[in-house]
Chains A and B, each alone.
Chain A
Amino acid sequence: DQQVKQNSPSLSVQEGRISILNCDYTNSMFDYFLWYKKYPAEGPTFLISISSIKDKNEDGRFTVFLNKSAKHLSLHIVPSQPGDSAVYFCAADGHTGTASKLTFGTGTRLQVTL
């Protein structure tokens, strides 16, 4: 069963606009969430994370929102840039206080067009 779901396999956004990537989870034990970006032939690169005690975390152009009651999180990229074109993975961890195994979604391919 897919405990972390990214239902949009792809997204196309114009440069300068907002990109919104969505992620849903089913396991209520997850208490930490991360977004990774992946370019072809490279490993995933950590972007931003959020603890379940927060509902928003911001880092530059990237903001992650968490809605615990809906078991939903989203990544906002503003403004979108061509270099943001990549596959974005949502990941969840359920072990408070330690770094442990991550459960990943299937990814959303973002294409930022000129």
Chain B
Amino acid sequence: DTGVSQDPRHKITKRGQNVTFRCDPISEHNRLYWYRQTLGQGPEFLTYFQNEAQLEKSRLLSDRFSAERPKGSFSTLEIQRTEQGDSAMYLCASSLGTAGYEQYFGPGTRLTVT
């Protein structure tokens, strides 16, 4: 299977703990995106990378959030000092930067902060 994969699929953590999610994009895709989806809403853009460069960050991405894409392959999204409001589905997507606009999504990581 050469689709976008995310790990873990589910994460339950206590408030104040740090969590890290991983995304492996489709191998030939140079663009990688992170979105967050809460109940009843559509996905909301958080940040994106072209290769290893982080090109844009949403205002939703507070200082407690950090994303990396070392070597332009997989990406990690870390949330420090989690809050209950961080509970959401975190979606990763990838695309070919110049071949069209279609972004292909992974299955998501559901975070629950208790």
Contact mask for chain B residues 74-113; partner A; CB cutoff 8 A; 1 contact, 0 none: 0000000000000000010101111011111111100000
CB nearest to A36 among chain B residues: B105
A4–B40 CA distance with the chains assembled, in angstroms: 14
* A42 adjacent to B107 (CB under 8 Å): yes
* B41 adjacent to A43 (CB under 8 Å): no
Give how many A residues have a beta carbon under 8 Å from the other chain's beta carbons: 25
* A98 adjacent to B98 (CB under 8 Å): yes
Give how many B residues have a beta carbon under 8 Å from the other chain's beta carbons: 28
CB distance from A12 to the nearest CB of B (A): 19
* B41 adjacent to A99 (CB under 8 Å): no
* Complex interface: chain B residues within 8 A of A97 (CB): 98
Q: Which segment, of A57-65, A67-75, A78-86, A102-110, faces chain B?
A: A102-110
Q: Does B21 contact A (CB under 8 A)?
A: no
Q: Does A44 contact B (CB under 8 A)?
A: yes
* B100 adjacent to A43 (CB under 8 Å): no
* Complex interface: chain B residues within 8 A of A36 (CB): 105
* Complex interface: chain A residues within 8 A of B98 (CB): 97-99
CB distance from A38 to the nearest CB of B (A): 9
CB distance from A44 to the nearest CB of B (A): 5
Contact mask for chain A residues 87-109; partner B; CB cutoff 8 A; 1 contact, 0 none: 00101010001111111111100
